[in-house]
Amino acid sequence: MSAIETPHIEIVPVRKANALPAICNLLNEALGELHDLEYLAEIVDQPSEAMIIGAYVAAKPALVGASYVIRLHAGMEEETAPFDWPTSEQYASDEFVCLVSSAVIPSFQGIGIGKHMAQRRIRWATTMDCRWAVALCWESGRERTSLPLLKRLGFEEVERRTDAWTGMPCPVCGDNCQCSGVVVKRGLG
């Protein structure tokens, strides 16, 4: 898509449950069947704990991207934690948020939507007085992943995980993901 054809995109927090099925479908199609509609419904009702973002073509409106961020807490139950990784306890405090999932439909990739969704989640974390943001970036071998984008936004690699997604569904590997992951971290102050 050339700069002349680039439509106006609105990056907005999602606060209504009726928008969640489309967001859940977009995330699952792009990233594998990892996202649960009930979980998204729970976090959309907790604006001080999480924020779900939708990227919409303003003229239509049509959903072209989705992402979310959650605040991390010590003692989070496994089903509410954004991912299961051995070092998560070191990030489990009110000072940390996790940029969880982010996806943009292929025909709208490369025009800055992912960057603007990441920046919007970082702004939310700052308004919640969080000092750090972390993410577990998927290394799938696909052309566009979040790792280069987050590095451009000031995130630094903390840890590489070869077993980051083992046993999870994956659009690249199938039912048992073998993709690796990279934990990244950035200060927000």
Q: Quick check: 87 pLDDT over 80? A: no
User: Can you tell me the distance from the alpha carbon of 173 to that of 48, in angstroms, rounded to the nearest whole number?
Assistant: 35
User: In the chain, how long is the greatest CA-to-CA distance?
Assistant: 49
Q: Quick check: 143 pLDDT over 80? A: no
Name the nearest CA neighbour of 9 among 59, 69, 67: 59
Record the pTM: 0.86
Report residue 78's pLDDT band, with 50, 70 and 90 as the boundaries.
low
Question: CA-based angle 119:189:117, to the nearest 5?
Answer: 10
pLDDT at 75: 62
Burial 37-50 (b: 16+ CB within 10 A, else e): eebbeebbeeeebb
User: Can you tell me the distance from the alpha carbon of 99 to that of 67, in angstroms, rounded to the nearest whole number?
Assistant: 8
Kindly give, in sequence order, each residue whose CB lies less than 8 Å from that of residue 50, ignoring residues fewer than 6 positions away.
43, 44, 68, 69, 70, 71
Report residue 64's pLDDT band, with 50, 70 and 90 as the boundaries.
very high
pLDDT at 55: 92
pLDDT at 153: 96
pLDDT at 90: 66
Report whether 183 contacts 135 (CB < 8 A): yes
pLDDT at 1: 42
Give me the chain's average pLDDT, please. 82
